[in-house]
Structures are given as structure tokens and as C-alpha cells.
Amino acid sequence: MPAKPPGCPVGPGGRVPSARIADDDLAAEAADFITLYHREELPHQDPAPRIAAVREEIAATGTYRHTTAELTHGARVAWRNSNRCIGRLYWRSLKVRDHRHLDDAESIAREAAIHLRQASNGGRIRPLITVFAPDTPHRPGPRIWNEQLIRYAGYRTPSGSVLGDPRNLGLTELALDLGWAGGPGTPFDVLPLIIADGDGKPRLFELPPESVLEVAIEPPDGPDYRDLALRWHAVPAIANMCLEIGGVSYAAAPFNGWYMGTEIGARNLADVDRYDLLPRIAERLGLNTADDRSLWRDRALVELNRAVLHSFDRAGVTVADHHTESRRFLAHIDRERAHGREVTADWAWIVPPISGAATPVFHRTYDATEHRPAYVHHPDAEARARGEWAG
């Protein structure tokens, strides 16, 4: 709002990273993180020897390497610190796939498909992150240009309208420029991945169909709109954010939780600059769309969200509803306070985009201070996702 920013899937989200930091600053950030890690995971072990070793490594190489245990805790705490995410109660359940040895586009595309299959888990969506090679002083790490691993194409038609998702119009045009033949021409054609090695040159990779779990969206009752052939993908795997842990930046680190239904039904399918389906749903419901006071948008919005929850449940695919998730967020606050930690949050993202005042998270204020480790936006990530590449 003005338009509220796109809703957060039940998974991490974050801030904008700074430029590459000097050795002294990197050492300070590393020491802060190592101290945090030991305090929370190794409380009876002195962090000083590890900090000293990290400082020596930074002095020699300009960077340092996290242990797998440090990486795992850092990724989980980054989720815990995500001010825009309502689903942080589950932060300790995040499974970390350590693939820091991979920095080539082909391997990243292959592992991204495996990530999606593992995260789909037969419909029981599991929180998952796959971490690829980090940025170093000598070479930037790889980048995934797609906003999420699964996104639907947006095609500009001769009439000037868009078939599919207008949010992805620029990325679709870039994919076509890079040699993609296009999909079958439906409103829900899955885009290929666009991945760049450290040299920054983007390359295309089609996702295998078996890696893309989708749910057909149909109403639980009332007027039928199966003719619209609505569907949505099950795994919201965010791909163009950077995982920052102790001053080290993992620019390619796709991660997912599971969807909250409103992200699909009240945003992706309903927003006027996305699929803009409310007028068509209202028409099938027989609502008076000529008079705003009939609240036809509100009624159509509720029915579309009911359809999303019904359809995911019928398909046996994990999805959260905004009332339950709001209560769980307050449980997360209580649990964190019991551990001596205060939860920070961005009110505009935590309050659901439908029936906000009917949820308990609405009637509170939150400290929006940002902490590290964190998931952050690349400075150029949004431009790349829009297809604005100057290479």
C-alpha cells in the first residue's frame, strides 16, 4: 500500500546490503557473529580461539570461511531476524544445503531443481535453503536473476495488454532475448531460470516439470470458475536475495518456507498490477461491480482466498491461513522473549493484506530495527528481476 509491498511467504525477507567492507570491518562483523553463534549454540565454549583464527584468515585472504555449523545457524538466525516475515516461529526448522563449492551456472540450475523437489516434499512443504559460493575479494559469487525460482511469464500482447503475470514482463522479455522459445502461451507459463556466473553473463536454464509442484485453484462451493484455469506454484523459493552472515555475502542462496494463502489470493491473483482477477470473480458471483458501496471487491477477495485455501488443502499441499499465522507470530514473540530476545518487525508486512484488523498482529506496534545475520536485497536485484540488464 500505497500499495503494500508484495506479501511475505512464510519464509525470510530483508534489507539492502552495503558495499564490500574493509578487512577491519569484516573482522568486526565476523567477531560479532562468532560470539553470537557460541552464545546460542556453544555456550560453554570460549569463542576467542575461533575469532583469532578468523582474523588471521581475513588478514591472509581478505575473507574467511564459515564452518557448516556456523553457516546453518547464520541462515536460521537470518530468518529469525527477518522483519517482513510473519512465519518466524519455525526458524529453527530451516534445513540448510551447503553447496558453497558450486559457483557455475549449470550446477546451480541443477541444484535449484533439486531444491524445489526436496522442498515440495510430496506437498508437505519443508523450509529449505541452498547456499552457493559466496562473494570474495577476488571474484563475485553467482547470481540468480529470477525473483523466485518459480515465476510465471508475462507476455505483452498486440493490444498492449499482458498475458500472464505483469510483474515478470521485463524478465520474460529478457528470457526471450536470451533465446527462450517461450511457453505454451497460457497465463501460467513457468519462466526459465536466468543465472550468471561470477563473470555476470546471464544464461538460461529450463526447470524440469517434475520440479514444479502446482495447485489448481477452484472454489469450494458457489459459482464455478474452473474455466479460468487458475493455478499457483506450491513453493515460494525466493532467489534474488543475499544471505549475509558475519560480513560474508552469499548472493545465490535460494530459500523457502511455505505460502500464506493471502500472498496468492489477496496479492498475486488479485492485485490490479498482477493478475487483477477480482472483476472476473465478482462477475461469476453475480455482484454489482458498478457500485463500490456494494463492496464487491471485498466479497470477491474473500471468495478467492477461500478458493486458495480449499484448493491447497484438497491437493494435500501445505498452506497457512492469516488468522492462524498471526496467532503463531505472537507465540513466536513470547517464545523469543523467554530466551531474552526481542522480536523486531515491519508492521506493513506483518499485518495480512486481508482482514488485517481481525488479526491480533494489527493491534500492536513493532520495533523495526534490523539485525544481522540477514537476508538482504542486492542493489541491482530488482532491476535484474525486471529484465533491465545493461550487459
Over residues 121-142, the pLDDT tens digits come to 999 999 999 999 999 999 999 9
pLDDT band at 10 (very low <50, low <70, confident <90, very high): low
Burial state string for 365-391 with b = 16 or more CB within 10 A and e = fewer than 16? ebeeeebbbbbbbbeebeebbbbebee
Domain boundaries, the chain: 23-385
226 vs 349: which has the higher pLDDT: 349
Pick the CATH number of 23-385 from 1.10.3720.10, 1.10.10.60, 3.90.340.10, 2.40.340.10: 3.90.340.10
32 within 8 A of 246, measured Cβ to Cβ: yes
- Residue 337 reports pLDDT greater than 50: yes
Over residues 141-197, the pLDDT tens digits come to 999 999 999 999 999 999 999 999 999 999 999 999 999 999 999 999 999 999 999
Of 211, 166, 170, which Cα lies nearest the Cα of 6?
166
User: Biggest alpha carbon distance in the chain?
Assistant: 71
SS3 375: strand
Q: What is the DSSP letter of 260?
A: B
The overall pTM is greater than 0.85: yes
195 within 8 A of 203, measured Cβ to Cβ: yes
Over residues 363-388, the pLDDT tens digits come to 999 999 999 999 999 766 666 666 67
105 vs 8: which has the higher pLDDT: 105
Grid coordinates standing for 161? 495488454
Q: How far apart are CA 316 and CA 119, in angstroms?
A: 14
SS3 37: helix
Amino acid at 365: T
pLDDT score recorded for residue 136: 96
Q: How far apart are CA 186 and CA 51, in angstroms?
A: 54
pLDDT score recorded for residue 13: 54
pLDDT score recorded for residue 3: 35
Query: What does the pLDDT average to over 289-304?
Result: 97
226 vs 331: which has the higher pLDDT: 331
pLDDT score recorded for residue 19: 44
- Residue 9 reports pLDDT greater than 80: no
Going by C-beta distance under 8 Å and a sequence separation of 6 or more, which residues neighbour residue 337? 343
pLDDT score recorded for residue 381: 63
Catalytic residues: 85, 88, 258, 263
Over residues 31-78, the pLDDT tens digits come to 999 999 999 999 999 999 999 999 999 999 999 999 999 999 999 999
274 within 8 A of 162, measured Cβ to Cβ: no
DSSP symbols for 218-238? --SSSS--GGG--EEES---B
Q: How far apart are CA 174 and CA 169, in angstroms?
A: 9
